[in-house]
Structure 1
Amino acid sequence: MAYVTIDGVQYEKELLELAKHHTTGRGESNLAKDEVVDLFKSANDGPGITDTELRTLRYIRETFPFTDAAADLFDAEFAKL
């Protein structure tokens, strides 16, 4: 698992790259519901979600733009963790 450090805090590189991929390119700007599903699938790729993955998901929620429906879904899924 690869990591990236932002402002002295370690995050999971794969999750950040996935969020960036979904918000850049041909007309993309906000994370949509299906992309939120992708993020949580990626975070659940092992036996459980690590503290780094939780921190990364929280960072994505605070940093990246979401559609309203995607924000609601993200918040609901994050609350289950």
Structure 2
Amino acid sequence: MAYVQIDGVKYEKELLDLAELHTTGRGEGKISADEAKLLIESAQDGVQVTEIELSTLHYIRKNFEFTDKAAAYFDAELATLGQKG
């Protein structure tokens, strides 16, 4: 697993790259509901969502634009993932 550090905090590179991919090149530059689902699924690729994956998802939510539907879905999933840890 590859990581990047932003302001001294370690994040998962794969998730950040996926968010970047979904917000550049085409469309309105916002993460859609389907793309938000892909991000959550990518974080759930192992036995459990790690602290770094969870931190990365929170970073993505704070630093990338989401459609309203995507934001509602992503926020609900983040709340559920936070309770599982």
Instruction: With the length of structure 1 as denominator, give the TM-score of the two structures.
Output: 0.97
RMSD: 0.7
1:48-63 map, 5 Å: 48-63=48-63
- After TM superposition, the runs of 4+ consecutive aligned structure 1 residues lying more than 6 A away are none
Report the counterpart of residue 5 of structure 1 in structure 2.
5
1:18-29 correspondence to structure 2 within 5 Å: 18-29=18-29
Distance between the aligned counterparts of 2:27 and 2:49, measured in 1?
A: 31
Equivalenced residues, count: 81
Deviation per residue, 1:42-71 (Å, 9 max, x gap):
000100000000000000000000001100
Alpha-carbon distance in structure 2 between the residues aligned to 1:55 and 1:64: 14
Q: Is the 8 A contact 1:19 1:60 kept in 2?
A: yes
Query: 1:28, CA displacement in angstroms?
Result: 4.0
Residue in 2 aligned with 1:39? Answer: 39
Quote the sequence identity (%).
Answer: 62
Which runs of 5 or more residues in structure 2 are unaligned? none
1 CA distance for matches of 2:48 and 2:5? 22
1:12–1:56 contact (8 Å) kept in structure 2: yes
